[in-house]
Structure 1
């Protein structure tokens, strides 16, 4: 019997940014709705992919993404071992925009936690994601696939360095106060930026992040002031609509450099057409990280070898799992038969007779499961 796992998804490799925006699932409303639609499943939704993993038929998952306005040509469907291999590649960072990035492993772990919270996992999915997380850790500790800083935030930093050359003394603003904003600020401080401005819907969170980096905090009402003062803006806020439009940018004596790494996007695409603004988004980063990707090509075969070993281990576990499930079902059936045939017997007698009848059948099941 084939492994009954499936995957339906889209990523930066199959869909442009505006399509990925439609498929992005927020953890409060859309993601639980997706899990309800799947019945049993795990949803991995990041800035560069939305993937639905489950057991059985992939049709419900496919229909769910099509209903969100995703065209069939943007989707990939994988089943059985190929679905598991894809999950392992994702966790190891081989399928990321920035090959070997560390953030995806935490996102895979979070996807499993959210599914557990919704009661949406079962044994095959649990084992698949647990082994994917373990593999991702091994890939980064036993190979050079994760060497150096390879996050999307670092790619954004590379882009800023390509434009400015030297970041010291610049005024830098971040929109959002989440993990990506914190990671970007960590990189920036290492390059000696001058003034740090943090803008967030919740000013208290902005203040907490700003204090860590010696910066200034603003609520969304302070965004116009920030846009007048900043040299570089990096947007990574969780917002359902644009926070910056063409009408929001003041006329400036010097250009403003903006990097939008949020999904959905925080900055309206038309901002990039203004004469004093230079706007880059997630798709633009692919060109920035091409050099990084080439440098890690030598490590990919090592990671792929780890993946194939993990696949073999999972399939060995699955064979044993199938036998255990079959034995449990066999014992239940035999117990019902014995109880009907020997209604006057006591419980120990029933169990003894079930054991006698089950023994040769269990041996046969185990023999069938051997490779």
Structure 2
């Protein structure tokens, strides 16, 4: 199944309005068109980016690959080959049925929406802006970009920044890690002066750390089975570490415990919470379990002074904020359309200049 979008393409090349062709395209798959079992087959190998770009340069003069957990897309300028063949050969598979293809201004509009977070699984998420910026830098390191690619991507980054600043699209948190911190703020009030303990050191734990810091928490303990990973996360964000074996000693120091790790058993149980509370002199202790499967035992909630929240409790916050984000979409889409029109004006001006130079060179010859 090949998906196309006609909304922007009407701005180019009709009999009544014969604009010059914008030689720009994208082929890709994402969370809307392909399950994770397919998306993981199109992941960029850690050591294989050079080979990947070498293959793709057989199909276009300029290339950029954007690969995240929810999408793999190839942007091409100066195309001289089949987009489907380029994707299949680059990732050594047959992804027919999962592709979407966009050409010319449709491809531009798609990239602008991607960068703005309008095409993300979590609408308005901000990580994609940095991911596309890094993708452009990587493509440049392989000498795979030129005037057109650089202009389109830089304009997309500017449009994405404008969408976020003018609409507030990303103001309301919509991840479970940020929702956990938001709920902690609701139940504790000002988080400054409080101590948080993070169980885990993966991507979700790092996101949790960023939200804790933004909320004013200055003292964060990181506990993880692999102490090196815990230390790496703590060092990046100015936190402290505690050996996993000494978790029980660390619990009384925490006002908030946020668990985002994987384990085959309960890492903290009711008896652990009871012991920690005794050492805290009756001060309450709040637990947020954003792990799946859960690693904080349900009997923690039965301990006086211990308060346990899980993913179901946090999803209501996420849903509320997502609804608010959706209300900003019409304004965001209007900004994207305006940015695409600006890109078209740049393209028409550039094309006219190139034509005048070519004509002058022909006369001079």
Do structure 1's residue 208 and structure 2's residue 231 form an aligned pair?
A: no
- Could you tell me the TM-score, scaled by structure 1's length? 0.65
Choose the corresponding residue for 1:81, options 89, 105, 108. 105
- Note the aligned Cα RMSD (angstroms): 4.2
- Could you tell me the TM-score, scaled by structure 2's length? 0.66
What are the ranges of 5 or more consecutive residues in structure 1 without an aligned counterpart?
A: 236-243, 261-268, 335-353, 358-371
SS in 1 for 2:75: strand
Do structure 1's residue 35 and structure 2's residue 53 form an aligned pair?
A: yes
SS in 2 for 1:73: coil
- CA distance in 1 between counterparts of 2:145 and 2:123 reads 28
- CA distance in 1 between counterparts of 2:270 and 2:127 reads 37
Choose the corresponding residue for 1:16, options 17, 29, 35. 35
Partner of residue 25, structure 1: 44
Do structure 1's residue 59 and structure 2's residue 84 form an aligned pair?
A: yes
Deviation at 1:279, TM superposition (A): 9.9
User: Which stretch of structure 1 is more off in the superposition, 84-93 or 188-197?
Assistant: 188-197
Partner of residue 173, structure 2: 150
- CA distance in 1 between counterparts of 2:55 and 2:315 reads 33
Corresponding residue pairs, total = 303
Kept after mapping to 2: 8 A contact 1:198/1:206: no
Deviations 1:62-92 (Å, cap 9, x if unpaired)? 2146625x74333222122111111011111
- CA distance in 2 between counterparts of 1:181 and 1:306 reads 33
- CA distance in 1 between counterparts of 2:39 and 2:207 reads 23
- CA distance in 2 between counterparts of 1:287 and 1:67 reads 41
Partner of residue 334, structure 2: 305
Kept after mapping to 2: 8 A contact 1:43/1:50: yes
Choose the corresponding residue for 2:222, options 186, 197, 207. 197
More helix by share: 1
Kept after mapping to 1: 8 A contact 2:197/2:220: yes
Kept after mapping to 2: 8 A contact 1:91/1:108: yes
